[in-house]
Structure 1
Amino acid sequence: MSLPVHLVPTLAEARVGSEVTVEGDEAHHAVAVRRLRVGEQVVLTDGRGVSVRGEVTSTGKRVFVVEALDVETAPEPAPSVTVVQALPKGDRGELAVEVLTEVGVARIVPWAASRSVAVWKGERAAKSVARWRSTAREAAKQARRAWHPEVDPMASTAEVVALLAGADLAVVLHEDATDSLADLLVPAEGHLVVVVGPEGGIAPDELTAFVAAGARSVRLGAEVLRTSTAGLAATAALLSRTPRWS
């Protein structure tokens, strides 16, 4: 049975035999909801590559302390994958974030595409980004990732264009593309970017701007996927041809 995973701000000073204190909501959920007890073993991670397996030595209302039994440091996965996700309607955004996190993306960028049904403005934008970040955090713990993904603030099309220009390989998923994702040469290192359009599709001017920035317009296959799952399929197809999945 897998040990429960808890996120802490830092494990920079963690050594075998040292104690790590977990506080706040993370500790409250473990102690009050999961009924964590002294003597149980857990895994702690800082989401930046360091993980600790340890034994609980004490618990409180919103705190517990762990003695480190093992400390592991994992290198950042390469190539890294960023997915630019057009804002979906309803709760499909959280679904997209969940599955993208599970498959191993390094960064998720919410994109306000011109044809997005959902509109994020003001307080709603802040709350939506917070929900995406919470979803990514919980999915990363479930997937037992040593490196957790970043979720950016909402990006404009111009900001996505700038992001594409710095990629080692950038693709835009488009059902009418003539090139297939399966035919691309995928670099073993560097930075990959996948752009996923909204339910209404990517507008012609957006596609033109992305291709001008160096992205390749590609199709996944004959089927048309939902915006909430297309990024997962594309990322998996790319990673399957890299050392990460070999």
Structure 2
Amino acid sequence: MSPPLFWVDEVPVAGSEAELSGPEGRHAVTVTRIGVGETILLGDGAGATATCEVLATRGKDTLRARALEYRFVDRPRPIVTLVQALPKSERSELVVELATEAGVDVIVPWQSSRSVARWVGSKADKGVAKWRTAAAAAAKQSRRAWIPEVADLASMTDVRARCAAVLDEGGIVVALHESGTRAFAEHDFRAAPQVLLVVGPEGGLSDEELADLSALGAHTCVLGPQVLRTSTAAAVALGALGVLTDRWDADAERGPN
């Protein structure tokens, strides 16, 4: 099993020391009960990690460690953005956790026409904050070097703009929907610099949204014979992309098998 990962603002280079304190220090010392001589990973969530030996602990929330090895990994290619329609509240953060564990790079919460959940005013700020916290926790759990970016709440206008930008760069936009007539695996994802996935809410994408996305150049696809929940569709698609591209190659960012 790989060492546990904790977030720091600055990752130490090999041979230098670092102090872990605050909430991350408390998690290491009090919750995980890390002791002197054990090995941990320190990461900044932006590609840099260091394998470290714990030198000392102090109180309930502080430890010092020496970096044994420093590593930086680029994001895997193609970059994958998930435009996720807001699911019901009980499944909201599960979407983020599963997509993060599966390797998503950017998550865009989207207020689609059929979303039961409604993020209005301060509720949008709180919802985005929860998703960002969930992404950081899931990235730590899965030993990811990168914490996915969670964007602000998007409207359909914002989604169109993101789709257009990806397509302009030669990327692929896929709307996952049971009405799709083309299989997901038929696309040449390996050659694409970016992939944008659109996942609808429990009620699915509306006809108007599908028509809007198709007019931009998006493809409507099915992943397989089963109809997937909105909370699991993105994770399944990301798993497929891992096989269909180089994202899961040995040198790419990934957690332990």
Structure 1-normalised TM-score?
A: 0.93
Residue 147 (structure 2) pairs with residue 140 (structure 1): no
1:47 partnered with 2:45: yes
Deviation at 1:174, TM superposition (A): 1.4
1:61-97 CA distance string (max 9 Å, x none): 4332211111111122111111111100022121111
Q: 1:95 to 1:244 in 2, by over 3 A?
A: same
**Structure 1 segment 1-246 matched on structure 2, within 5 A:** 1-11=1-11, 14-60=12-58, 61-167=60-166, 168-245=171-248
Moved more, 82-91 or 203-212: 203-212
CA–CA distance in structure 2, aligned partners of residues 129 and 99 of structure 1: 16
User: Which letter maps to 1:6?
Assistant: F
1:189 deviates by: 4.7
- Paired with 2:155 and 2:63, the residues of 1 have a C-alpha distance of 42
The answer for the alignment partner of 2:254 in structure 1 is: none
Alignment correspondent of 2:252: none
* CA 1:206–1:189: 2 relative to 1, 3 Å: closer
Mapped to 1, the partners of 2:2 and 2:81 lie a distance apart of 28
Task: Give the Cα separation in 2 of the matches to 1:106 and 1:24.
Answer: 27
Contact 1:115/1:203 (<8 A) preserved: yes
CA distance in 2: counterparts of 1:46 and 1:218, whole angstroms: 36
Secondary structure of 2:189's aligned partner: coil
Q: Distance in 2 between matches of 1:183 and 1:162?
A: 25
Q: SS state of the match for residue 190, structure 2?
A: coil
Residue of structure 1 in register with 2:255 after alignment: none
**TM-score with structure 2 setting the length:** 0.89
Aligned residues: 244
- Unaligned stretches of 5+ residues in structure 1: none
Shift of 1:56: 1.6
User: Unmatched 5+ residue regions in structure 2?
Assistant: 250-257
Q: Deviations over 1:125-181 (max 9, x none)?
A: 222212211111111112111122111111111101111112201100111122221
